[in-house]
Chain A
Amino acid sequence: MSGSNGTAVAADRALVDAVTAFLYDESAALDEHRPQDWLDLLTEDFEYLVPLVEIYEDPARSPYHPTTFLDHESKGGLALKLLRAASDYAWAQRPTGFLRHFVGNVRVMGTPERPDDVVVRSNVLVTWTRDPEPTRQMSAGRLDHVRRTDDGFRLSRRTVFLDTAHPHAAQLWVVY
């Protein structure tokens, strides 16, 4: 599992702009508490991965564990987590908090595994505030597989590279 950015391909500007606009809309659905809208932007085989972070003395070694995950979710699992906010018993989601994604450094990367996928790297700063606890923020890199479909772009895989080995619970709860 590598958080390394590598080099972006010389993708045409229109593709970068279109993918960026998709990522902005997708984040807005999370930030605005529209979980069904967000889930509708995922492919049925969507996979969400947050690798465990280990820090080694050798700075050249990737800190992202290849097989151990802080979170490894399917679309069904995320639906369970996000849609239950409507239930009276979703204690951790009621009352709601304030979620805000700041998406940047969007780059279209090299060869995708499928011809209809676009591989995209981006950086995010995510803030989460649930009063009365203080605001928690976390920066992370993201590696997304964005699939071209007849209905437009859909997210088929997201890997999140957290910028810490020792997060706070509130930083692990949010969807990046």
Chain B
Amino acid sequence: MDDATGLPGISSDHRMPRGAFVDDQVFAAERAALFPGSWQLVGHESEIPEAGDYVRRRLFTDDVIVTRTRDGDVRVLLNSCAHRGTQLCRGTSGNTSTFRCSYHGWTYDGTGRLIGVPALKTSYPEDFDKDGHSLVRADVTSFHGLLFAAWAPERPLEASLGEFAWYLEALLSVTSSGWSVYGPPVHYGRQGNWKLDTENFAGDGYHLTTAHRSMYDEGVMGRDAESERKVIGHCVATAEGNTLRTVHLTGPDGVDGPNYLGFPPSHFGEITANLGPERAALLDRNTVVHGNIFPNTCFIKVSLGSVGDEEEDDWTAFVMFRTPLPDSPHTSTLYQWVLVPNDYPQAWKDRSYKFAMRSHGPAQVFEVDDLENFARIDTAISGVRSRRGTFDYNLGDGTAGEEPGWAGPGDIDPQNLSEHNQRAFYARWSELVGAAR
């Protein structure tokens, strides 16, 4: 219950208590009721192709090792020795046959099993239970190579995705060759509650023409000719709190048949065949698909005609996954991965990464204008008076017209500007966190 508003979560008139974004008590409730049972992206299988490969990551608030065992399985292990809690891995990535603690030398294999204890025979009780001192293991499930982990999942990943898998399948089935990370993920610290990120990715089309106005002015959000064409937006949410927003261009573009903007035309046939007509409609003449897998796995596919360098301008798509990780009520750490299809030309992969970083990289204006707003929110609502009151999520309620619907599953709002998805995100959040409070 928020002390100031009396609201445990989102209200029937679509308001959220501001305290949800700054209060220590809310953060404690999220730690207890939301993070342990939820699935979160921790990496991609292509980051750890060989036995013994590992990367150090965060699962919500905790430091974990994501590693491939000698049997080829992926394990997610708490990066903390079972003896005195020491951090085992301090690098960001590497390859090792065992994880050895730097304090007393306890040693674990790639599955997290304790295999070495110095002075075990001479100085420990005869019945010392080595097997009872494995590293804490999180559950891990691979979805098209994406590695999702959870400490104590309240249900399998498949059930958490629900109908939403249809959309992720559409995006990830574009290529038959599979996906790989372009390189290691970028990660950096930021000011602002983690949910400001997730609700933005969940479906905020409303901020574009204000927050990112200068990008339109500079022509980075599409060439004039294209930007004058009509756009159609859809917001989709599922009962699990998963969300997605799409924007399509309509009107004549001189292309017969499908036009998967930003993907190589030589692969259009493959895309059509893999996706089938209903799923293909998601990417046909699509400029952006973005969304959030509840609670904090964000993704975005963008097709851009330009990122400011005339000589390289050519419609190019990129696929980015990103996780805002909660550090405190006021700060988060963002990881972002760019995925590229394995059999696309290297020049396309390079351009895709460049477009991703030029638009959504941490040094660039698109990202920075969002960060600026998140920091401004955090600063502005952290006072005694300013943390009282609510945020409003009424945009698009009851305003949907008779626009064409959408063939995909989920609760569909056929509008470009709507907080339909944010309402769904906070409804699910309120079920878990509000109830716990």
- Residue B71, interface by CB 8 Å: no
Set of chain A residues within 8 Å of B189, measured between Cβ atoms:
166-169
Give 18 CB contacts A-B under 8 Å. A54-B184, A57-B91, A65-B183, A65-B184, A70-B361, A72-B354, A76-B310, A80-B218, A80-B365, A84-B214, A84-B217, A92-B369, A92-B372, A133-B375, A169-B188, A169-B190, A169-B371, A173-B363
C-alpha gap A90/B218 in the complex (Å): 11
Across the interface, do A74 and B309 meet the contact criterion of CB distance under 8 Å?
Answer: yes
Q: Which positions in A face B, CB cutoff 8 Å?
A: 50, 52, 54-58, 65, 67-74, 76-77, 80-81, 84, 87, 89-92, 132-133, 165-169, 171-173
Chain A interface, >50% SS class: mixed
- Tally of contact residues, B, Cβ under 8 A: 44
- Binary A-proximity of B372-389 (CB < 8 A = 1, otherwise 0): 110100010000000000
How far in angstroms is the closest Cβ of chain A from B217? 7
Q: How far, in whole Å, are A78 and B174 apart by their CA atoms in the complex?
A: 33
Query: How far apart sit A172 and B371, CA to CA, in the bound complex (Å)?
Result: 12
Q: Are A172 and B362 within 8 A (Cβ)?
A: yes
Q: Does B113 contact A (CB under 8 A)?
A: no
Q: Which of B91, B188, B353, B373 is in CB contact (< 8 Å) with A168?
A: B188
**Considering only CB atoms, which chain A residue lies closest to B371 in the complex?**
A169
Kindly state whether residue B85 has any CB partner on chain A within 8 Å: no
B residues less than 8 Å from A165 (CB atoms): 92
For B365, give its contact among A65, A68, A90 (CB under 8 Å): A90
User: Contacts A77-B308, A91-B369, A133-B191 hold; do A68 and B217 have CB atoms under 8 A apart?
Assistant: no
CB of B358 closer than 8 Å to a CB of A = yes
Once A54-B93, A56-B91, A84-B214 are accepted as A-B contacts, the answer to whether A166 and B186 lie under 8 Å apart by CB is no
- For A67, list chain B residues within 8 Å (CB): 183
B375:A57 contact, CB within 8 angstroms: no
Contact (Cβ within 8 A) B183 A173: no
Q: Are A56 and B309 in contact (CB under 8 A)?
A: no
List which B88-119 residues lie within 8 A (CB) of chain A: 90-94, 96
CB distance from A107 to the nearest CB of B (A): 26
B361 to A71, Cβ gap below 8 A?
yes
Asked whether B33 is an interface residue with its Cβ less than 8 Å from the other chain, the reply is: no
Q: B327 to chain A: closest CB distance in Å?
A: 11
Known contacts A56-B94, A84-B214, A84-B218; A166 and B357 CB within 8 A of each other: no
Q: A55-B92, A72-B357 are contacts. A89–B363 as well, Cβ < 8 Å? A: no
Query: Is B364 in the interface zone, CB < 8 Å from A?
Result: yes
Chain A residues with CB under 8 A of B307: 77
B220 in the interface (beta carbon within 8 A): yes
Chain A CB within 10 Å — which of B211, B310, B361, B373 has the most? B361
B368 interfacial by beta-carbon distance below 8 Å: yes
B223 contacts the other chain (Cβ, under 8 Å)?
no
Question: Is B187 part of the binding interface, using a Cβ–Cβ cutoff of 8 Å?
Answer: yes
Q: Tell me whether chain B's interface is mostly helix, strand or loop, or mixed.
A: mixed
**CB of A55 to closest CB in B, whole Å:** 5
- Which residues 298-315 in B have Cβ within 8 Å of A in the complex? 307-310
Q: How far is the CA of A118 from the CA of B373 in the complex (A)?
A: 42
Question: A169 CA to B372 CA in the complex, in Å?
Answer: 10
Q: How far is the CA of A67 from the CA of B353 in the complex (A)?
A: 11
When chains A and B are docked, how far (Å) is the Cα of A131 from the Cα of B294? 34
Q: Give the residue name and chain of the A residue nearest to B365 (CB).
A: A81
Given A81-B365, A168-B190, also A55-B183 (CB < 8 A)? no
CB atoms of A68 and B371 under 8 A apart: no
CB neighbours of A77 from chain B (8 A): 307-309, 358
Residue among A50, A70, A91 with max Cβ neighbours from chain B (10 Å): A91
Complex: A124 Cα to B265 Cα, angstroms = 45
- Please state if A76 and B188 are interface contacts (CB–CB under 8 Å): no
CA distance A57 to B52 in the complex (A): 14
Are B363's CB and A50's CB within 8 A?
Answer: yes
CB contacts (< 8 Å) of A73 on chain B: these are 363
For the A-B complex with A67-B183, A91-B211, A166-B187 known, give 16 more contacts whose Cβ atoms are closer than 8 Å: A52-B183, A55-B92, A56-B91, A65-B184, A69-B357, A70-B362, A77-B358, A84-B214, A87-B214, A91-B369, A92-B368, A132-B379, A133-B379, A167-B188, A172-B362, A173-B363
User: Binary interface profile of B, 288-329, with partner A (CB < 8 Å = 1, else 0)?
Assistant: 000000000000000000011110000000000000000000
In the bound complex, CA of A171 to CA of B307 (Å)? 23
CB distance from B249 to the nearest CB of A (A): 24
Instruction: Decide: A172 and B358 in contact? CB cutoff 8 A.
Output: no
Q: Does the CB pair B92–A81 fall under 8 Å?
A: no
Per the bound structure, the CA–CA distance linking A42 and B149 in Å amounts to 46
